[in-house]
Amino acid sequence: MKEGGVSEVVGAIILVSIAVLAVGIAVLVLFTGPLPTQIPAFSGLISNSGKTVYISHEGGDPLIVGQFKILVDGVDQTARFTSSLSSGIFSLGMKMNATLPKTPRRVVMISNTSWGGETVLLATDLTRCILQVSPAWYSTDWTYRKRITIDHTKVSGSLTDFPVLISLPSDSTLSSCALPDGHDILFTDAAGTKLPHEIESYTSSTGALVAWVKAPSISSSDNTTLYLYYNNSEAPDQQDATHVWDSNYVGVWHLKEPAGSNSNDSTLNSLTGTPAGSPGQTSGQVDGSLGFSGGNSVSMGNNASFNFGTGAFTASSWVRGGGANQQILGKSNWAGNDNGIQVYTSSSGGYTTAPPVTGTAGITTTGTNSYPAYTNTIGGTSYWNNFYGDYVSAFPVTLPAGTVTSIGVYWLASGGYMRVALYSPGSGKPANLLTQSASTAIVAGWQDVPVTPYYVTGGTYWIVVQTNQIKSFYYITTATGQEYAKAYSGGFDATWNSGSYLLNYQYYMRITYVKIEGYAKATKVTLSDNNASIDSVRFYSHATGNFRLAIYSDSSGPGSKQWESASTAATAGAWNTVSIGTGSPAGLMLNAGTYWLAWQWDSANSGPSYNAGSSGDGNYRAQTYGSYPSSWTGGTSSSEKWSIYLAYTIIQIGSNDGNWHYLAVTRAGTGAGQLVTYYDGVPARTGTDSRTLSNTDSFKLALSNDGLNGFGGYLDEVRISSTARSPDWIRTEYNNQYSPGTFAYLISSEQGTC
């Protein structure tokens, strides 16, 4: 049978075909001359306006209802048309019409089979026209298209062959005009080149569509345009699912299949997942997802494609829920010691990957045990005078808590010998000898003479000097000193001579001390990783003694206490490691930020290791050796940096808050810095992975290969690649799948015009 014509008809046949889309120009078939008696002489006109089709009787015999059929796109729609007639006869000048479910493409009117073997009386193709639009129409076999714009602000970098998610919650024109199975749906780029696509789901009743389209390129600088074509009743399935996913994809599982069904792999590799224990089907981040109860799973088998050796890989999935210590996906046993990919939940229920990443924060270099000295100066340079030998002179000084290390005097000339000492306070005069120096030759200028280190708790003390000859010195006039005669050779008395008398002047002197014992000191450190499980705090000591450590938050100096240790005996000349588990609390997880590592020492021994720093690097506060306060108050900023750092393991890359989250891990090959783990499109940790990934385990979802620690949550869009996807790729995947409607959105619908 020839389209638009009449077969086996005696006489001359004149066929005129004129196609129209929206307003419709008819196809006219005119029969003239003698006809067989069983076939009526008939001419008519078919036109349409959208989904409404009109058939008019233009000449010839009347047609009786029941003696003809009207097929629209191959479906018998006769009853819709004849219901518009006022009687059972369709005669000259009459018009019948029908409003159809969707815009028609081809309408055929044929004689009843009892009249002559389904002879065509009238036929037209309502969409066969030359489409004049810009850019050029893909094919005249498709009536409609929608322009899709990919928002460049949602794209990171410039990406090629990127599988774009197109997600339409509903679309009335797709519902009414596309084929019920969506087979006529196709996608092109802006130039009209057809693109591979995969339909994950299509619902004809609403027009809801979830599809993946391989975009040749998308850019972060300019919007990208794609087109969605539909409405071709004769189209075979237009999908090319396997070519949506480039050759680097090992497997792509949408997990959309019904409960108990296999999970199909969309790539050419066809690594089908076999369920065990019937995981449940439920709504997911993109479309469907599988829900697991902690014992069921899906296995993709032991395929060599999952053994990456020392090469690159990417593993990713959308994850929701789950409890602590549960295997999400991987090709490994639960212990993770068999050289396979592993993504799991941490002991606190968050998400993480294997192998673990370790790090440090703080000062990892050893320093000196010569600490920053503080001085308290008394007297002044208003006058000068001579100091007589064989006298002991004392002057009061107020000291904070700290360890006295030297006492100094400013001499105008060299020569002779001196001793200095520190006495406890009595009633307006010194009381008892606390520490003293050896006999020391006098040198002009400031002369700081070391004393046996002595810890003072703070308050008023007396600094004492004695010489063996007359010496010139600076002084100021003030009646605060005490003095008595004492032969230099006799040294200092253990108890101050009660017969001393008042001095009306004060020497130009100073006392030097270090704030170690009786102080808590802190060094500011920066932690660069989130979800860091703190393993230990490490402290270098040059001497034996006892110390206590603590971690504080930052608040323009130490803020709130996060952890503290018990008193610990130091090993001299070594890093002293204090496990977090031996302190309070017994476990600590910190996020990236600034923290303060604090220490305190129980004696005047010069144990802690000091490093010179810059202003604001350190902080100290007076504190009796013992428990740390919950909040660090009364601290003083300093430049002190101490050899102290914390060691940690990243055991969690993101929190489990019951929402969908996108997890991905990439390895660009073995070596330092090659492992990157992402949480919701953002790098959450970096590390190394020098393993050779090869074993005989099966790649499984929701269960370790040894059947342990099943996952009790939901998975969607699991993907494995044999390349390390770039940070731009990972970020763009997250943006696209987290909010597909803002990533790729419809601008308009277009209909071809003639």
* Cα 581 from Cα 535, distance rounded (Å): 8
Q: For residue 28, what pLDDT is reported?
A: 34
- pLDDT for position 673: 60
Closest Cα to residue 545, out of 597, 609, 608, 621? 608
Residue 117: how many CB atoms within 10 A of its CB? 12
- Answer yes or no: is pLDDT of 114 > 70: no
Asked if residue 332 lies in contact with residue 627, where contact means CB atoms within 8 angstroms, the answer is no
* Minimum mean pLDDT range among 45-54, 268-277, 412-421, 614-623: 45-54
What residues have CB less than 8 Å from 614, skipping those under 6 apart? Answer: 639
Q: What is the pLDDT of residues 563-608, one digit of tens each?
A: 999 999 999 999 999 999 999 999 898 988 999 999 999 887 778 9
| Structure token digits, residue 297 | 């799973």
Res 701 pLDDT > 60: yes
How many other C-beta atoms are found inside a 10 Å radius of the C-beta of residue 238? 20
Summarised one tens digit per residue, pLDDT across range 305-333 is 999 999 999 999 999 999 988 999 999 99
Contact status, residue 358 vs residue 685, Cβ threshold 8 Å: no
Q: Report pLDDT for 672.
A: 61
Residues 6 or more apart whose CB falls under 8 angstroms from that of 543 comprise: 369, 570, 572, 605, 606, 607
Q: Which residue has the higher pLDDT, 388 or 131?
A: 388
What are the chain's domains? 13-125 (no CATH), 144-239+741-747 (2.60.40), 249-356+654-722 (2.60.120.200), 361-369+516-650 (2.60.120), 380-507 (2.60.120)
> What are the tens digits of pLDDT across the range 263-279?
999 999 999 999 999 99
In this prediction, residue 5 carries a pLDDT of 31
Give the mean pLDDT of 56-62: 88
Question: By C-alpha distance, which of 347, 341, 280, 289 is closest to 320?
Answer: 289
H or E segment to which residue 115 belongs: helix 113-116
Q: Is the confidence at residue 752, as pLDDT, over 80? A: no
Cα separation, 605 vs 657, whole angstroms:
50
pLDDT higher for 747 or 247?
247
- Alpha carbons 160 and 735: distance in angstroms, whole number: 16
pLDDT tens digit string along 626-649? 999 999 999 999 999 999 999 998
- Rounded distance between C-alpha atoms, residue 737 and residue 662, angstroms: 9
Q: Tally DSSP H helices, then E strands, for the chain.
A: 5, 59
> At residue 534, what is the residue type?
I
Question: What is the average pLDDT value for the chain, to the nearest integer?
Answer: 88
Contacts of 151 (CB under 8 A, 6+ apart): 223, 742, 743, 744, 745
Burial code (b: 16+ CB inside 10 Å, e: under 16) for 488-501 equals beeebeeebeeebe
User: Which residue type sits at 208?
Assistant: A
Q: Which two tokens stand for residue 410?
A: 């400013």
Predicted pLDDT at 113 = 52
Dihedral of alpha carbons 740, 742, 747, 749, sign: positive
The helix (run of H) or strand (run of E) holding residue 742 is: helix 740-743
Task: Look at residue 669 in the predicted model and tell me its pLDDT.
Answer: 79
Burial of 352 from C-beta contacts in 10 A (0-12 / 13-18 / 19+): buried
Q: Residue 352: which pLDDT band, with cuts at 50, 70 and 90?
A: confident
In this prediction, residues 545-555 reach a mean pLDDT of 96
The pLDDT of 361-390, averaged and rounded, is: 89
pLDDT over 60 (residue 35): no
Task: Give me the pLDDT at residue 487, please.
Answer: 93
Cα 256 to Cα 276: distance, rounded to the nearest angstrom:
16
Residue 1's pLDDT is 29
pLDDT band at 12 (very low <50, low <70, confident <90, very high): very low
Task: Output the DSSP codes for 324-378.
Answer: SS-EEEESS-TT--SS--EEEE-TTS-EEEES-EEEEEE--S--BS-PPPEEEEE
111-125, 360-374, 435-449: the lowest-pLDDT one: 111-125
Q: Which two tokens stand for residue 443?
A: 């040198």
